[in-house]
Amino acid sequence: MTPVAPIGIGTSIVLIAVGAILKYAITADEVLFLDIPVTGTILLVIGILGLVLAITYTIMVTSRSRRDVAYDDRREVVREREYEEPTRRRERY
């Protein structure tokens, strides 16, 4: 089983997209107690950091797994059963 990064690449991309939408596409500055552009900036930063960490972690895991693989060229043959040629039937005349 391959270890998985705490925050994946897909999750980071979603956070970046939502952050960009909140920061650049929504014109309302505040909704109740929430400052939308600041929230978008925070999500953008978290998404970018998560993306960098996920890619770094993925590169480290794949390079480690490639290095640790050992190939065994010895092949062992296991016979489950012997094959015997069928005997010919005698023809009756």
Higher pLDDT, 5 or 87: 87
pLDDT tens across 14-48, in order?
999 999 999 998 888 777 888 889 999 999 999 99
Break the chain into its structural domains and give their ranges: 9-68
pLDDT tens across 46-73, in order?
999 999 998 888 888 777 655 545 555 6
- Model pTM score: 0.60
25, exposed or middle or buried, with CB in 10 Å at 0-12, 13-18, 19+? exposed
Which residues of the chain form beta strands (DSSP E)?
A: 30-31, 34-35
Rounded to whole angstroms, the Cα distance separating 11 from 49 reads 11
Q: What is the DSSP letter of 87?
A: P
Rounded to whole angstroms, the Cα distance separating 50 from 57 reads 10
Q: What is the DSSP letter of 69?
A: -
